[in-house]
Amino acid sequence: MRIAFFDAKSYDRPSFERYGAEHGIKFKFYETKLTEDTVDLARNCDGVCAFVNDQLDAAVLDQLAELECRYIAMRCAGYNNVDLKAAANSGLRVVHVPAYSPYAVAEHAMALLLTSVRRIHKAYIRTRDFNFSLNGMTGFDLHGKTVGVVGTGKIGRVFIDICRGFGMHVIAYDKFPAQGTDIEYVTLEELLSRSDIISLHCPLTDETRHLINCETINLCKKGVVIINTSRGALIDAECLLDGIKARKIGAACLDVYEEETDYFFEDFSGHILNDDILARLISMPNVIVTSHQAFLTEEALSNIAETTVLNLVQLHDEGACDNELRFVGGEVKRGR
């Protein structure tokens, strides 16, 4: 198979080249994102390998079908940027990587939290200038605090285990609670009102879009810390900014951002940022932003490449895949 690999970064290539060679897949790496303007790069390929910021709407999918591409291999868990109905209508098969390293994302969420509440990022900058003052560096103990976890899939449950290791009290909300666990599930309203810290680990759907908005922020405790390592559009960024300015939100730890497509994964140092909300958030002393970095560990990169390659092999050799995303009867079905 020949697969056009879009939005390629230097850290992507080693694992994909290794696993691809083992299974007879040739990846053609392109630094550009997949859009209507670049889709022709997939000509003479069996499919494309895409990421979170690639454009996979009906227009692009129709062009891929015209180029006789058959497969769309998402090298991530999320697929909200894929029009699955249009893919089905065009005869394109879509697969994703449902789990690559839940530990990578959950550990990054905790790293952001610790960095924020213990002012580690500020201490790093100060001591680089030989400033050893502790003024303004007071944090708070995580032990005994209540953390509300929204979404209890693999990543959410790993994050819960980490929080329990710190002696935190965990409550959770999930439309589909995990069975056979001792997790204390509550309504979303109760989670918002009780939590000192809220961490988002749910997928982005029409139902969860702007889950954190002006109304839900008003339900939160004053000084709440909000963590998002899932999908940017789970949070209404304007409402988040207003909540920070009103001192309702004590801190925000963001690895994702609703309008990240034009910025994240790229170097804009020395340039003026056109997104005023993102610029304001980054300027806030109680906001930490990382650029969709939570997944980025050696283990996760290897798992992503291996699973993506095996997904393609299954589709090609068996005509079906355990990680296929199918649009059936107006709903998304996972699996064969």
Instruction: Kindly state the tokens that stand for 33.
Output: 């994102």
249 and 241 in contact (C-beta within 8 Å)?
no
**Residue 149: which of 163, 136, 128 has the closest Cα?**
163
- Euclidean distance between CA atoms 313 and 245, whole angstroms: 51
- Cα dihedral across residues 55, 210, 269, 110: positive or negative: negative
What's the CA gap between 65 and 162, in Å, rounded? 45
* 134 and 126 Cβ atoms separated by less than 8 Å: no
Q: Which tokens sit at 172?
A: 């959770």
SS3 assignment, position 188: helix
Beta-bridge mates of residue 333: 326
> Which residue in 266, 294, 260 sits closest to 278, CA to CA?
260
Q: How far is 235 from 49, CA to CA, in rounded Å?
A: 27
Q: Would you tell me the crossing angle of helices 298-318 and 13-22 to the nearest 10 degrees?
A: 30
Q: Which residues are catalytic?
A: 231, 260, 292
Q: Give me 159's structure tokens.
A: 């994050």
Q: In whole angstroms, give the CA distance from residue 32 to residue 15.
A: 19
